[in-house]
Amino acid sequence: MRIANHGNPEPDHRVIKTDEEWRKQLTAEQYRVTRRKGTEPAFAGEYCYAHDAGRYNCICCGTALFDSGIKFESKSGWPSFTEPIAENVIKYEKDISFGMVRVEVLCNVCDAHLGHVFPDGPAPTGLRYCINSASIVLDKS
């Protein structure tokens, strides 16, 4: 799979908090997904069928991650995007959990687990960033 930034470029800044600080800031589900690499049930997330204009930001640190203009209906059960808003907002790691080899995507600013990227998306990137609704928030401003 070819990913735009071929690695993990430096973010503009970093947000580092203790586990206790994350627990106080996030709901139990947001914490489970973002800090413990959880996955929400398919088709259950708040943004699975959302079509409102705006930017999807990291629920943990507020970093702008995806633009609604590149969101598409993948029928996978999770919000899907073709590319991040900027190359340095996403970090990639190999994920070998559950007997599969996948590419995990994390917020490059705060290390929040967002979801995974797959090579079966539409043109022009051919990528599908499959993102948990619990890890993002839509900013309509």
Q: In what order do the strands lie in the sheet with 80-81?
A: 71-72, 80-81, 128-131, 113-118, 102-107, 90-95
What whole-number distance in Å separates Cα of residue 94 and Cα of residue 7?
11
Q: Is 130 a catalytic residue?
A: yes
> Which residue in 48, 58, 61, 130 is the catalytic one?
130
Q: In what order do the strands lie in the sheet with 55-58?
A: 64-67, 55-58, 136-139
Q: Is 94 helix (H, G, I), strand (E, B) or coil?
A: strand
Positions marked catalytic: 130
